[in-house]
Amino acid sequence: MTNVLSIHAVHQGGMRVVAGSDKHQVVMDYPRQPEDAAEGLTPLQMLLASLAGCSASTVSLLLKKTNQPFTGLEVEARAFRRDEHPTVLTEISLEFLVKGSGVAPESVAQALKASEERLCPVWNMLKCGTPIKASFSIVENPVATHATH
């Protein structure tokens, strides 16, 4: 992978922008009025999506490396945004939902710590200017039962 990242953004009218690389594109929009429909995520939602995606990828990789029997991983990212301009994010929370039977809580905690401290570049960039709190819960997969008639 190259050390140079490049994105090309094209204004589409209003507050809508299409941004991407040669192979992938996303639409971002910022409705000027609350009643206006958005045609994409806002740029701050894209930032949260980047954090959720990056941290989910690194945590799942670490859980696989430690042979944790997880069957799914979800991340709910929430942020508070200040009202004054610039309307930056002032606090972010990440709630990880790990699915699987027999997943060790210590392994999840270690994976989160490693993601925050070393492996997730988005987390590392954002935490310098915005507090990020992470928590997790483990949901045991229900045992499948077969009904007999």
pLDDT at 1: 61
Under a CB-based contact definition with an 8 Å cutoff, are residues 98 and 138 in contact?
yes
Residue linked to tokens 């915005």: 130
81's CB contacts (< 8 A; 6+ apart) are 44, 87, 88, 89, 90
* pLDDT, position 145: 47
Is residue 49 domain-shared with residue 9, that is, in the same domain?
Answer: no
Residue ranges of the chain with per-residue pLDDT less than 50: 144-149
Tell whether 13 and 75 lie within a shared domain. no
Please answer whether residues 136 and 109 qualify as being in contact, where contact means their C-beta atoms are separated by less than 8 angstroms.
yes
In tens, the pLDDT along 36-48 reads 888 899 999 999 9
What's CA 69's distance to the chain center, in Å? 22
Residues making up the chain, counted from first to last: 149
- Total domain count for the chain? 2
pLDDT for 142 equals: 60
Q: Percentage of the chain with pLDDT > 70?
A: 94
Q: The domain spanning residue 52 has which CATH number?
A: 3.30.300.20
Domain limits at 20? 1-40
